[in-house]
Amino acid sequence: MKKILVIGTGGTIASKQMGEGLSPALSAPEILTFVPEVKKYCEIDVLQICNIDSTNVSPAIWQDIAGAIEKNYDGYDGFVILHGTDTMAYTSAALSYMIQNSRKPIVITGAQKPINIDGTDAKVNLRDSILYACDDYSQNIVLVFDGNVIAGTRAKKMMARSFNAFHSVNFPILARIQEEHIIRYIPYIPMRERVRFFTELSDSVCVLKMIPGMKEGMLAYLFENYDCIIIESFGVGGIPDNMLDKFYEEMEKWQEMGKFIVMATQVVNEGSNMEIYQVGQKIKKDFNLIEAYDMTLEATITKLMVLLKRYTSYPDLRRSFYEEINYDILCAFERV
């Protein structure tokens, strides 16, 4: 029988109604008492990292989770992380870059309603997650929610309250779980390389969301405090004309200082392509800008947090950014 380590971090799945609203109160062992049937799948041990609302999740929590998995990696066949939904997509993306080439499944799940109330989705999500973690053809970091198995780098919370809260963005779901059956859509390709852990994270990544009429000095202001700025532009990507003069004036200086700009889009589906319009094509070619293409914002942010700790040169960081990790990006033409 396989051994699974369940890691508790809090979230709605662990919450109870308190005087001022829902708040995490149940420990991971208490949560498991609501799904006694999972004992038929595997042996389960439990580790409580924290018990917080996921709004309060930070990179330090990701480091604690990754560190716990690294410490216990050889002793278990898989891992299930109980997590709040609000930042679950960030955590699943972060762990995808912090724990690479895992032959063992690392599953992240949670719920839209606490496990101790009627009509909760928590029991099904937890049961599905443990079932998936026990399967011989499961590997890498995934998010399991409402029967969907989503690559850790492709998950995004799209619904605030509905049970089908998470969607797979710009990539198919990996599998569907129905009545204890796993229906796979992506062929299983065993990991050939050994697992690698990258637990250092940069705190110098910032997102600038473009709005019409934004002041031209915003980039210079942000670069005083951050080494990497992700610009969430409009449509397929570009810089507004009123910011271009300042951009050209300062960009060479920023690059000489070791600063990085990554272009992304505010549009969730289909991704960016700066080659389409003049407002994007020229600046991308002039400065060899990195573009996020079809990546989620959560994946873009967390990938850069890992890479900034590994690389200081622009060519090295750019090359590594375009290397596919856990299905995160489709842009083979950039891998030169």
Among 197, 222, 239, identify where a domain stops.
197
Residue 72: per-residue pLDDT: 98
Residue 16: per-residue pLDDT: 82
21-24 and 99-100 as β-strands: parallel, antiparallel, unpaired? Answer: unpaired
Query: Which residue out of 12, 85, 91, 109 is catalytically annotated?
Result: 12
Residue 210: per-residue pLDDT: 86
Question: Domain range holding 326?
Answer: 205-334
Query: Closest Cα partner for 300 from 203, 237, 231, 235?
Result: 231
β-bridge partners, 151? 142
> Do 187 and 226 belong together in one domain?
no
> Do 167 and 60 belong together in one domain?
yes
Mean pLDDT by 10 residues, the chain (336 residues): 97 82 86 94 97 95 98 98 98 98 98 95 97 98 98 97 96 96 94 96 94 83 90 81 75 81 90 71 75 95 97 91 95 57
Among 197, 230, 253, identify where a domain stops.
197
> Do 141 and 281 belong together in one domain?
no
> Do 190 and 315 belong together in one domain?
no
120 is catalytic: no
> Do 175 and 245 belong together in one domain?
no
- Determine which helix (DSSP H) or strand (DSSP E) holds 57, and give its type and residue range: none
Query: Closest Cα partner for 92 from 205, 174, 177?
Result: 174
> Do 65 and 211 belong together in one domain?
no
> Do 95 and 175 belong together in one domain?
yes
> Do 168 and 257 belong together in one domain?
no
> Do 97 and 168 belong together in one domain?
yes
Distance between CA 141 and CA 143 in Å, rounded? 7
Residue 336: per-residue pLDDT: 45
**Residue 245, both tokens:** 């003069």
Query: Residue 230 sits in a domain of what CATH number?
Result: 3.40.50.40
> Do 112 and 29 belong together in one domain?
yes
> Do 252 and 191 belong together in one domain?
no
Query: Residue 74 sits in a domain of what CATH number?
Result: 3.40.50.1170
How many folded domains does the chain comprise?
A: 2
Residue 153: per-residue pLDDT: 98
